Amino acid sequence: MGKVAIVDSGCANLSSIHKALLRAGITAFVTSEAKAITGAAGVVFPGVGSFEHAAALLKQKGLDEALLQCAAAGKPFLGICLGLQLLFSCSEEQSSATNRLPSGLNVIPGKVIRFSHGLPVPHVGWNRAVPRYRHPLFEGLPDGAYFYFTHSYFVQPENPGHILALAEYGHPFTAAAARQNLMGVQFHPEKSGPAGLRLLSNFGKIIADPDLL
């Protein structure tokens, strides 16, 4: 298995995901260089914070094009938290004065939406993620394994077939999404104990054998 690029967009705590990948048996490196990202065997794209700010940073650093190249090339790709959300078309999370929704990478069609009014946000803590179908990312994990979440928004794919796993917080929401080589989780596997390490290890197996998808 080749090395995995952890994308440094300026919007994530990278040391914890780097350590978790190493514990899962994956050789990874942190980079903000487009060539290093496109040359890696796989990509992990973590993120926290504002959708609009993170999307602007990607463009400013020229990383949006690198990520789009990886997506188009069929490279195994794992978005984490905001990194998942940025794979989508747009977000309701809007901090600018414009009336337009901020755009994401649009490699998984759909929108990022806020939890319903009346629910305390952010949604923080342990919650069950239940896969809707068999997928190598969740191989060996029990149905409804617990993962650690912290977020106020969640993704809503246009195609229900792109919903990989659901969790419940007031109502069902997308806990993981997948489209071909693109995978993403709303939770933080690096903070999710043995279940999170197993999921990262499964991602490593997908990199070693993309035919698993």
Catalytic residue among 11, 70, 81, 90: 81
Q: Is 81 a catalytic residue?
A: yes
Distance (Å, whole) CA 183 – CA 200 = 12
Please report, for the chain, the start and end positions of each structural domain, with discontinuous segments joined by +: 4-212
Q: What does the pLDDT read at residue 10?
A: 80
> Tens digit of pLDDT for each residue in 29-73?
999 999 999 999 999 999 988 899 899 999 999 999 999 999 999
Whether residue 79 has pLDDT greater than 90: yes
Catalytic residue among 123, 151, 162, 188: 188
| Stated pTM of the model | 0.95
Whether residue 12 has pLDDT greater than 80: no
Average pLDDT along the chain:
94
Q: Is 190 a catalytic residue?
A: yes
Q: What does the pLDDT read at residue 144?
A: 94
Q: Is 11 a catalytic residue?
A: no
Q: What does the pLDDT read at residue 93?
A: 83
Q: What does the pLDDT read at residue 30?
A: 96
Catalytic residue among 52, 90, 162, 190: 190
Whether residue 95 has pLDDT greater than 70: no
Give the residue-averaged pLDDT of 133-151: 97
Give the CATH number of domain 4-212: 3.40.50.880
